[in-house]
Amino acid sequence: MAVPEQHESRRPSTGAVADVVLGLFMVAVFGWAFLEAADWSFKAALFPRIVTGLGFTVALLQVVQSLLRLARGRRAAADPTPATSPAGPIGPVPGAAPAEAVPQAAGTTSEDDVNEDDVEYVFQTAGARRWTEAVAWVTAFFVLLYVAGLFVTAPLFSFLYLRFAGRRTWVFCAIYAVVVGVVLYAAFELALGIPVPPGLFLD
Amino acid sequence: MNTAMPYRRSLRSLIALGVGAGVLSGCSSDSEPAASGGGDCASLEGETITIVVPYEPGGGYDSYTRLVAPYLEEEIGATIAVQNQPGAGGLLALNSLRAEDADGTKLAIMNGVGAGGSSIAGAEGADFALDDFTYIGRVASDPSLLVTSAAGEYQTFDDILAADEFRWGSTGPGAEDYVTSSLISAVFDIPGEVVTGFPGSGETELAVVQGSIDGMSGNLTSRRGAVEDGTQTPVLVVGEESPDWLSDDVPTVAELDTTEEQAELLDAHLALIELGRPFIGPPGMDEAATSCLRTAMAAAMENPELVQESEEQERELAFLPGDELEGLVQDLMDAPPAYSELLATLY
Amino acid sequence: MLSEAISGLTQVFQPLPLALMLLGVAIGFVVGILPGLGGAVTLALMLPFTFDMQPVEAFAFLLGMWVVTSTTGDITSVLFGVPGEATSAATVLDGHPMTKRGEGGRALGAVLFSSALGAVFGALVLALAIPVIRPVVLAFAPPEFFALTMLGLTFVVALSGKHLLKGFIMAAFGLLVALVGLDPQEGTQRYTFEQLYLWDGIGIVPLVVGLFGGAEVLQLMLSKRSIARAEPGATPEASLSGVGQGIRDVLHHWPLVIRSSAIGTGVGIVPGLGGSVAQFMAYGAAQQSSKTPEMFGKGAVEGVIASGAVNNAKDSGSLIPTIGFGIPGGAGSAVLLSAFLIVGLNPGEEMLTTSLDVTFSMIWVTVLANFIAVAAAFFVLKPLTKLTFISGPLLVPFLLLLLALGAYTASNSFADVLVMIVAAIVGVICIRYDWPRVPFLLAVVLGALAERYLFLSYSLFEWDWLTRPIVLAIAAVMVLAIVGPIVRRARARSRVRTAEQKSDVSA
C-alpha cells in the first residue's frame, strides 16, 4: 500500500476529505444493503451477503486509511520543520515537490495531475459558477426531454444552449436547431422507425 | 408513445438505400388503406396502431408480431407499429396496457403461460386479472415439449415416471419452463428437482445435451431443430395436438393414463397453454374497434401469403377468435382451486 | 473441406450477395456509430427482410451488418468518448485521451486496423474449429463459465491502477448493482424498491453510456473548448496523418493483437459472457503485459489496439455454439438463430456436413464485411476527426442527444435515461475524486453471471466441479494473473528503494 500513500500525500486535502466522505457513503450503502438481505432465503441472500460484507469491510478500511492520511497531512502542515523532507514543503500542497517525484513502481508519473487536457483537471479547476451553469443546462435538457419529448427538445435546447452558453448568432442557432430537428426526425421517425422519448403530452 | 415504427414505411426507405427492387418484392406490398374487413373500422382507418411486445426484439413473441402485423395492417387500413417494451418478465407492458386508451390504437401480444399464469397464481407484479383484457385473437398456441438428453437413460415419458430422481433444468420461477416441468412433476409425483438459474433456454439445452441435467420443458417449435438433429429426445407434448414432424410415439398429455384429480389439473393447465399468444387490448375496449380488429385479424390470419410465410419461417400459426379466447379465459377463472394453489407455489 | 471453403467464397462473390452485404455493412456502419442502438436490436428489425432470401444472401446481409456494428462503435468511442456500443467502452479509456491529445487519427487507425485483424483471427479460429466444434462446445458447462467469470474479476486488480483499495470497493459496488432484480434461483426481489422496471436488473447499455459518455460531455460543457487540444501543431491534418502511424502501431504490437483476439474468441464462445466482458479482459491483459502500464487510461495505443481486436474476434466466437448446436452465444447470435430457421437451415450437424459451404460463406462474410467497413471508415475519418477540432459548445447539444437516445433506445423506457444519468453522476464523481470506474463496470457485467453459474455448478455437480480439468486450467491462469503483477510491483518497489538508498547516500 506504499504506492497510493506516496501519491495521496501530495494531493490537495480536498481529495483526502472527499475520500473520507465517499468512503463513508460506500460504508453506508453496503451496510444498508447487507441489512436489506436479512429477510431473504438462504439461496437468495448468500451472494448479496458475501458481496456487501466484503464491500463494507474494504470501504471501512479505506475510510480509516484516508483518515490516517488526513491526520498525517494536518500534522505535517502544523509542523513547520518536517523531518522527512529536506527539500522543501511537504504535505497538502498542490503540485509535486521535487523530492516526491521519485519514480513510482506501478504508479504514475507526477505530471498526470497537472495535464490541462485531463478530465480530472477540468473537473478540479472549473469554478462553482461554471459547475452551476453546466449542471443547470443538463438538468434543463433532461426535464425538457421528459416533459416535451425528443422532437421538441432537440431543436429548442440546441437553439437556447448555443445562443446563451455558446454565444452564437441568432441565425446560426436557428439553422443548427432546424438541422438537428430535421435530421433526428428523418433518421428516427422516418428511416429507422425507432421509438424516442415522446414527452408527457404526446402519448 | 405513438412514435414507434411503422415498419412498412421504414422498409421502403430501406429499399431506397439501394437494393434492387426485385429482391424484396415479396415483402414490399403496399400498405395504403384498403379496408376490406367486415368490421366497422372507420375509427381506426388511417390511425397508427401500436402493438407492444413485452420482450426484447428477436424472440418468438417479437417475430410473431412482426410477422402478422403487415397483414393486419392491410386489413384495417391503419399503420401498425411494433414496439418492444421489455420489463419484469413481460408483466410491465401488460400492467401499463391496463391504463391505456381503449380506442383500439394500443394492443399487446400476451404470453399466456407466463403472464396468465402469474395472474392466476396471484404472483407479485401481475396487477391484472386475465378477464380484464379485451381479446382480439390468438396468433399462435404455445404448447411445450418435454425433452431429455439423447444420450441419457430416460428416453420415454414412462422412463421419467419410473425415475428415482429426475432433474429438470429451467431459467427460474415463473418462467414457462419452470412452471410446466414443476407442474408435471407435481401432478405425476416425479421425484427429483428443478435446477434453476440458467440464463436462457439455450444454456439449459446445452446442459441437457451435455447430460448434466436429465431434461427440460421448452417451446415445441423451437425444439424442432434439436429433435431432428438427434441431440434431444422428445418425450411428452404438453398441449392439445402433436405436430407432423414429431413421431407418433411421442404422447400428448391427453393420451396419458391419469386419475380424475390429475386430469383436472392437467386440463386447467392445458387451457392456460391453449391461451397461447393472443393479441389483447385494454379493458373494456371500444366496441366498434373491437369488432373491427377481430374481423380484420380473422381475415388476415387466413391470408395465404401469411400462411406461406409462416410456414417458411417455421412459425406455426394457430388462430383462435377473440370470443373463443374469452370463453377459455372464463374456464380458467373457474379452474379448480387446487390448480391456482399449485400455481401459486411456482411463481 | 477446402472445396467447401472455396465454394463458400464463390457463393459470396455473386452480385446479389455482394450487394446485400454492402447494404448490410452500410446499415451496420451507421448503427454502430450511434450509441445505444445495438447490433442485436438492428438484426431483429432487419430479420423480416430476409424472408425471401437464399441462405447465403440472408447471411451476407445480416452478418455483414452485425459484425460491422462493433467496428464502427469504436469510432464514436475514440472521437467523442461516448461508447458507440456497449462493447466499445474499453476503447474510450485510451482512444479518447489520444483524441484530446490531437492523436485521434492515430487512435482510429490503430483501432480500425486491429479490428480488421481481430475479425480475421476470429474467422480463422471458427474455420479451424469446424471439425471439433461439437466436442469443444460440450466441454464448456456452468463450472467452466463460472471459472471464466472469476478470471474476469481478477482483472479488477490490474484495472484498479494505483488505487487497489478503491478498486475493490468499486468492484463490490458493481457486484451490488448486478444483484438488483429478481434472483435467478428463487425469484426473490432484491433491491428493487418495489419498481417493476428493476425486476430485470439494471440495463448495461444505459450504464455504459452514462458512466463513460456523461463525464466527457460535462467536461466539454465546463471547459467550452474543442475536444482535441487547440494548440499549434495539432490540426485535423496533423491528426489524420497519424492514421498510418496507428496502423504501424498495430503491426508493431502484433502479439497483443493475437492475444486480444484469442480472448475475444474464447469469451465469445461462452453463452452469456459476450463482448462487454471480453473487452475488459483483453484490456486488463494488455495493461498487465505492457511495459508502460501507467500510461493506460491516459492514451496508451496498446489499450486501443487490444479493445479493437477483441470486439471483432468475439463475433466469430459466438457463432461457434450457434452453428454447432443452435445454441446462441449472445444476444446477436440469438437473433441470427431465427435467421437460420427463416432460410430453412437447421443449426447443428447439418451445418457441419451438408451445408458446410454455407458455414464457410458465413466465415467469409465476417472477414469481407469487416474489411469493407474499415476501408470505408478510412474515407470518413477526415470529416469525423474535424468534428473534434470544432468548438466544444457546438457539439454539446448533439452529444447530449446521443446520450439520451443511446440510453432510451435500450428498452424504450425513460427509466433507462434515469439510469444513464445516475451512471453519469457516478462517472463524474469517480473522475473528480480519482476512483476507478472500470472495475465497477466489469463487476456489474460479471456479477449476475458469477452468481448464476456458481449456484448452477453446485446444483449440477456439487463440489466435484472444482476438479474439472478446464476449471483447474483457468484457475492456474487466474493465479498467474494475480501473482504476476504483485511480483512485478514488488520488484519495481525494491528497485525504487535501492535507488532511494543510493540517493540518500549521495545526499
**Distance separating alpha carbons of residues B214 and B153, to the nearest angstrom:** 8
* Closest Cα in chain C to A152: C401
The pLDDT assigned to C427 comes to 92
Asked if A202's CB is within 8 angstroms of B3's CB, the reply is yes
Q: Which grid coordinates belong to C345?
A: 437451415
Hunting for cell 444472401 — which residue is that?
C57
Q: Which grid coordinates belong to B305?
A: 401469403
Confidence band for A89, pLDDT divided at 50, 70 and 90:
very low
Q: Is the pLDDT of residue B2 over 50?
A: no
* Closest Cα in chain A to B5: A193
**Distance separating alpha carbons of residues C269 and C272, to the nearest angstrom:** 9
DSSP 8-class letter at B197? -
Asked if B10's CB is within 8 angstroms of A191's CB, the reply is yes
Domain B144-271 in CATH 3.40.190.10? The answer is: yes
Which residue stretches of C409-437 are H helix?
414-432
The pLDDT assigned to A23 comes to 93
pLDDT over 70, % of chain B = 88
pLDDT over 90, % of chain A = 37
Q: Which residue has the higher pLDDT, A18 or A190?
A: A18
Contact criterion met (CB below 8 Å) for C260 and C313: yes
**Distance separating alpha carbons of residues C441 and A69, to the nearest angstrom:** 28
> Which stretches of chain C drop beneath a pLDDT of 50?
507
**Distance separating alpha carbons of residues C214 and C89, to the nearest angstrom:** 12
Asked if C326's CB is within 8 angstroms of B313's CB, the reply is no
The pLDDT assigned to C232 comes to 53
Average pLDDT, chain C: 85
* Closest Cα in chain B to A198: B1
**Distance separating alpha carbons of residues C452 and B199, to the nearest angstrom:** 7
Residue type, B173: P
Residue C326 forms contact with B (CB below 8 Å): yes
Asked if C51's CB is within 8 angstroms of B27's CB, the reply is yes
Domain boundaries, chain C: 2-36+55-229+237-467
Q: Is the pLDDT of residue A191 over 80?
A: no
In angstroms, the separation between the Cα of residue A135 and the nearest Cα of chain C is: 8
Among C29, C42, C199, most B C-beta atoms within 10 A, so best to mutate, is: C199
Residue A202 forms contact with B (CB below 8 Å): yes
Contact criterion met (CB below 8 Å) for B171 and B178: yes
Please state, in angstroms and as integers, the Cα–Cα distance from residue C339 to each residue in B301, C328, C331, C398, C452, following that order. Answer: 22, 12, 13, 35, 29
The pLDDT assigned to B281 comes to 93
Contact criterion met (CB below 8 Å) for B87 and C200: yes
- Comparing C-alpha atoms, which of C373, C330, C327, C335 is closest to residue C351? C327
**Distance separating alpha carbons of residues B140 and C436, to the nearest angstrom:** 50
**Which residues of C fall within a CB distance of 8 Å from B173?**
186-187
In angstroms, the separation between the Cα of residue B197 and the nearest Cα of chain C is: 5
Residue B6 forms contact with A (CB below 8 Å): yes
E strand or H helix that includes residue C205: helix C204-208
CATH 3.40.190.150 boundaries in chain B: 5-9+36-141+276-344
* Closest Cα in chain C to B193: C459
Query: Among the listed ranges A29-38, A148-157, B86-95, C92-101, which one has the minimum average pLDDT value?
Result: B86-95
Average pLDDT, chain A: 76
Residue C188 forms contact with A (CB below 8 Å): yes
Residue C184 forms contact with B (CB below 8 Å): yes
Q: Is the pLDDT of residue B17 over 70?
A: no
The pLDDT assigned to A159 comes to 93
Average pLDDT value for residue range B196-210: 85
Q: Is the pLDDT of residue A1 over 70?
A: no
Question: Count of alpha carbons within 13 Å of A18, Cβ hemisphere only?
Answer: 15
Average pLDDT value for residue range A125-133: 85
Average pLDDT value for residue range B271-281: 91
Q: Which of A21-30, B173-182, B323-332 is modeled with the greatest confidence?
A: A21-30
As beta bridge partners, residue B252 has: B237
Among C169, C287, C437, most A C-beta atoms within 10 A, so best to mutate, is: C169
Find how far residue C353's CA is from the centre of its chain.
32
**Which residues of A fall within a CB distance of 8 Å from C221?**
133-134, 137-138, 165
Please, is C19 exposed, middle or buried when counting C-beta atoms within 10 Å of its C-beta (0-12, 13-18, 19+)?
Answer: middle
In angstroms, the separation between the Cα of residue A159 and the nearest Cα of chain B is: 23
CB nearest to B57's CB, from C45, C137, C344: C45
List the B134-140 sheet strands across, edge first. Answer: B5-6, B79-84, B48-53, B106-109, B277-281, B134-140, B320-321
**Distance separating alpha carbons of residues B168 and B144, to the nearest angstrom:** 14
**Which residues of C fall within a CB distance of 8 Å from B57?**
40-41, 44-45, 335
The pLDDT assigned to B200 comes to 80
Among A150, A189, A196, most B C-beta atoms within 10 A, so best to mutate, is: A189
DSSP 8-class letter at B116? I
**Which residues of A fall within a CB distance of 8 Å from C393?**
161-162, 165-166
State pLDDT tens for residues C377-391.
888 887 888 888 888
Asked if C43's CB is within 8 angstroms of B229's CB, the reply is no
The pLDDT assigned to C504 comes to 58
Find how far residue C61's CA is from the centre of its chain.
22
The pLDDT assigned to A105 comes to 37
Confidence band for B39, pLDDT divided at 50, 70 and 90:
low
The pLDDT assigned to C501 comes to 67
**Distance separating alpha carbons of residues C479 and C466, to the nearest angstrom:** 15
**Which residues of C fall within a CB distance of 8 Å from B86?**
200, 411
**Distance separating alpha carbons of residues B167 and B157, to the nearest angstrom:** 14
**Which residues of C fall within a CB distance of 8 Å from A188?**
405
Question: Left, alpha or beta for A152 (phi > 0: left; psi -120 to 50: alpha)?
Answer: alpha
Which residue stretches of chain B are H helix?
7-16, 60-76, 91-97, 117-121, 157-161, 176-188, 201-210, 224-229, 260-275, 287-302, 304-312, 322-333, 337-344
**Which residues of B fall within a CB distance of 8 Å from C445?**
none
Residue C391 forms contact with A (CB below 8 Å): yes
CATH 3.40.190.10 boundaries in chain B: 144-271
Instruction: Give the SS3 label for residue C287.
Output: helix
What superfamily in CATH does domain B5-9+36-141+276-344 come from? Bordetella uptake gene, domain 1 (3.40.190.150)
A vs B: CB pairs below 8 A? 33
**Which residues of B fall within a CB distance of 8 Å from C19?**
18-20
Asked if C41's CB is within 8 angstroms of B225's CB, the reply is no
Contact criterion met (CB below 8 Å) for B284 and B99: no
